Amino acid sequence: GAVVSQHPSWVICKSGTSVKIECRSLDFQATTMFWYRQFPKQSLMLMATSNEGSKATYEQGVEKDKFLINHASLTLSTLTVTSAHPEDSSFYICSARGSFLGLAGEGGELFFGEGSRLTVL
């Protein structure tokens, strides 16, 4: 099956610094990727939709200047947490939707990265 790789899996940083998380689709092209945040024992919370070659679409309540998303190619999206603070500590997960049906307009499976645990001191 399709693989989505996320890096780093674990990062600790000091308050005020910026952290970049990468999400790559390894064996399929993803024009759209999604970024989520997950707190302990809670479900996934969609933060933004990353569109290749255009601006990301952010969910209500998510600060676009704080969570910078860049989708530079069909296989790579990055999330940068700028000026991180302890309240930004969380588990960040990306996903990409791929299709092996080869049919335009058909739905595809959603594959997730392994997640990145951010701890801001």
Partner 1 sequence: QKEVEQDPGPLSVPEGAIVSLNCTYSNSAFQYFMWYRQYSRKGPELLMYTYSSGNKEDGRFTAQVDKSSKYISLFIRDSQPSDSATYLCAMSAKNYGQNFVFGPGTRLSVLP
Instruction: Please state the closest distance from residue 60 (CB atom) to partner 1, in A.
Output: 14
**Exposure string (b/e) for 8-41, b if CB count within 10 Å is 16 or more?**
eeebebeeeeebebbbbbeebebebbbbbbeeee
Interaction site with partner 1 (CB under 8 A): 1, 4, 6, 31-32, 34, 41-44, 46, 49, 51, 91, 93, 97, 99, 104-115, 117
- The residue (of 76 and 82) whose beta carbon lies closer to partner 1 is 76
Instruction: Please state the closest distance from residue 16 (CB atom) to partner 1, in A.
Output: 26
- The residue (of 14 and 41) whose beta carbon lies closer to partner 1 is 41
Q: Are 6 and 113 in contact (CB under 8 A)?
A: yes
- The residue (of 1 and 61) whose beta carbon lies closer to partner 1 is 1
